[in-house]
Structure 1
Amino acid sequence: MTSTWPVLSREDVIAFQFSSWFSTFSFLSIKSTVIPLADDFRSYLEADGVFVPTGSENLPPKSTLEDDRDHDCDSDDEVASSAVRYAFPVLDSQIRATINEYGGAVFPKLNFSSPKDAAWILPSSSPPLRCTSPAEVYMLLKASDFAVHDLSAESVIEGCVDNDGDDDRDRGTTTRGGGGSTGGAEEGYKLELVLRKWFAIDPSREMRAFVRDGVLIGISQRDANYYEFLNEPETQCTIVSSFVAYWTAHVKPKWTGPASYTLDVLLTRDLTRFHIIDFNPYAPRTDALLFTYDELATLFVAATTPLSSSPAPTLRVIDSRAHPAATRNAPQHQHNMVPLEALALSEGRTVEELSTMWMDQIRRGAVESDDDGEE
């Protein structure tokens, strides 16, 4: 009987971090820069509160803000002024250089996780996850619960077959993601910042493919909205046949990680090719979207049964506006969208007012950090 999920080792999981696969597939992916992060940046991400490091934001002339500070100080400012100060001038420079190289905007992630759950923290007038300064990169990562997953090797390898109580000698000092010498997957795990060239993505062309033991068994629409053109039989036939051909030619022979994985892509406008967005483990931590993993296991058995005709992968799209996935009114990631500090400011205010006020709070903290550095 086929298990729902294949067994994952620590080394299997590490194969999915961005820097492990990007060099092989950069020709199919989005322009991206990987920046190794020092341990003090992890400390910043783990610190309480959402605030930006000193020098990370292009602030207006200080004189225009000083009057506001004199007349608009409150207990939150006093708490911020007593907190530990962080500054990353070298990292700030690297981020600014990458932003300039990529046309003025990037979207960030860490080794595995994108801070999609924190998109609310940027101004409502800004496209999702579009960052034009180091401060915006830091705010997204700082406010994201998803990013917490990447901070330690221990959380990254959770659930792996060789992550048990008898293997403590392999976990040692590197369970915080640092560069210890304990062996196993942790030895090679180092926190990284990934900056990818930002561009507007058409969500109707985002797909997730499921590969089990080297067999492409399913393709799912990622965006939870109904698109009429995706339900046209001719369009579906084009997507499936072109996807299989392109994956067979360009991904399958070059992928050196585990034989089971998921693949996030953006289809080209003519639906005949794709750009790789990410690889993820074939595991419970990766959303099966319009499938269930039990259904995928059944599809895998059907595709690998002796004398089977190697059926094409199953394509799932939202087939009507009444589809359960298209009728959810709650925003994505609402369970971890807003930190408590923001909730304290939110009473009686619209989302736009809250976002503006939250940004003002963060800027005041950044100005105070600059002032403290001059004393």
Structure 2
Amino acid sequence: MRLDLTIVENNSSQTQTNNSDSDEEDIQWTDDETTTAVTAPEFPEFKIRVQEAINVLGGCVFPKLNWSAPRDANWIALNSSLQCQSLCDIFLLFKSSDFITHDLTQPFLHCSDDSPDPTINYELVLRKWSELIPGAEFRCFVKENKVIAISQRDYTQHYQHIAKQEDSISSAILEFFRDHIQYQFPDEDFVLDVYRDSSGRVWLIDFNPFGEVTGSLLFTWEELTSGKNLTDGPAFRYTTSEVTVQPSPCLSYRIPRDFLDLTTGEDAYKLIDFLKLKKGQQEEEESDEEGEGP
């Protein structure tokens, strides 16, 4: 189910008020020169429409925008899940997600087309919530309308059944692709995520762009674009043992960005500032120790 999503930016001149009777409703930040009252925006009609859609879909939904779901923000939800029962749940995930921020601010960052960026009509997409087994999800890479690679989607875990059922899983996915997807999608290069249930039936989860903006999982984009290390038929990769289990790539989104930059060395200036701070603290401690001498 899709709902139009309007992004509203409050004009600061409209929010500067001197409303002494609504102190409980307004949040105020004050400095020596100005006082600005900022009132949280409300969308009563949109909220009603969203709640009606959630009720129609059974009371629990999986939310996303045009391209991305807030998979990097499930840690902030009380249930540590993307399951939402209200617009407040959706807003909490969206506001905490770098994936959603990217869609809103830099959706064409990795595009090579020189044409001007098109106008985007953002849509809030709500799907009926379903409990999916992570070990039954697979990502398929399609080039020139042919599946060239299949990857276990949750590659951070080892699922024994995948090795035992490799041939049947691959055959079911390829049959589904030929019957329902091939030559039906507007582009000839794309990525799709599918789910194979316990009865062997394959379900479409989502489409993704064929490019670095989409996770390559157990492949590399160099392999996928050049065909290097790929067999004549679709290459099928999965985590083969507990030894090769990897941490989830979304774990890095659970800590402040400054901490991540420090540990990875991505921002040299933050590291320099941190070292200066530590040096200052050390000099302060040494000075205090000297002052406490006999």
TM-score w.r.t. length of structure 1: 0.58
> What residue is the counterpart of 1:321 in the other structure?
242
Deviation at 1:209, TM superposition (A): 0.2
Give deviations 1:204-248, integer Å, cap 9, x for gaps: 00100001111211100011200111111xx11101112111101
Q: Is the 8 A contact 1:150 1:191 kept in 2?
A: no
> Could you tell me which amino acid in structure 2 is paired with residue 162 of structure 1?
D
What is the aligned counterpart of 2:98 among 133, 136, 145? 145
> What residue is the counterpart of 1:238 in the other structure?
168
SS at match of 2:53: helix
Q: Is the 8 A contact 2:140 2:150 kept in 1?
A: yes
Deviation at 1:322, TM superposition (A): 0.4
Question: Does structure 1 residue 206 correspond to structure 2 residue 137?
Answer: yes
Distance 1:301 1:212, change over 3 A: farther
Distance 1:138 1:294, change over 3 A: same
Q: Is the 8 A contact 2:62 2:82 kept in 1?
A: yes
What is the aligned counterpart of 1:107 among 53, 62, 80? 62
> What residue is the counterpart of 1:227 in the other structure?
159
Question: What are the residue-to-residue correspondences of 1:48-197 with 2, within 5 Å?
Answer: 82-123=37-78, 126=79, 128-152=81-105, 155-163=106-114, 170-171=116-117, 186-187=118-119, 189-197=120-128
Deviation at 1:146, TM superposition (A): 0.7
SS at match of 1:243: helix
SS at match of 1:104: coil
Question: Does structure 1 residue 290 correspond to structure 2 residue 218?
Answer: yes
Cα distance in structure 2, aligned partners of 1:159 and 1:198: 31
> What residue is the counterpart of 1:254 in the other structure?
184
> What residue is the counterpart of 2:253 in the other structure?
336
Cα distance in structure 2, aligned partners of 1:131 and 1:230: 30
Give deviations 1:311-357, integer Å, cap 9, x for gaps: 4311111000001xx143xx5423333568xxxxxxxxxxxxxxxxx
Cα distance in structure 2, aligned partners of 1:327 and 1:130: 25
Cα distance in structure 2, aligned partners of 1:193 and 1:291: 30
Cα distance in structure 2, aligned partners of 1:95 and 1:104: 11
TM-score w.r.t. length of structure 2: 0.73
Give deviations 1:31-62, integer Å, cap 9, x for gaps: xx11111231xx38xxxxxxxxxxxxxxxxxx
Cα distance in structure 2, aligned partners of 1:238 and 1:218: 15
Runs of 4+ in 1 over 3 A off after TM superposition: 81-84, 297-303
Cα distance in structure 2, aligned partners of 1:332 and 1:301: 24
Cα distance in structure 2, aligned partners of 1:215 and 1:102: 34
Aligned-residue Cα RMSD (Å) equals 2.5
Q: Is the 8 A contact 2:142 2:191 kept in 1?
A: yes
Cα distance in structure 2, aligned partners of 1:204 and 1:338: 26
What is the aligned counterpart of 2:205 among 277, 288, 298? 277
Deviation at 1:122, TM superposition (A): 1.2
> Could you tell me which amino acid in structure 2 is paired with residue 157 of structure 1?
F
Aligned length: 236
SS at match of 1:131: coil
Cα distance in structure 1, aligned partners of 2:112 and 2:198: 41
Question: What are the residue-to-residue correspondences of 1:30-41 with 2, within 5 Å?
Answer: 33-40=1-8
Structure with greater strand share of residues: 2
> Could you tell me which amino acid in structure 2 is paired with residue 161 of structure 1?
S
Distance 1:286 1:319, change over 3 A: same
SS at match of 2:242: coil
Cα distance in structure 1, aligned partners of 2:151 and 2:98: 25
Q: Which structure ranks higher in relative contact order (CA pairs < 8 Å, sequence separation ≥ 6)?
A: 1
Q: Is the 8 A contact 1:115 1:140 kept in 2?
A: yes
- Structure 2 gap ranges (5+): 11-23, 30-35, 258-294
Cα distance in structure 1, aligned partners of 2:256 and 2:3: 27
Cα distance in structure 2, aligned partners of 1:298 and 1:332: 25
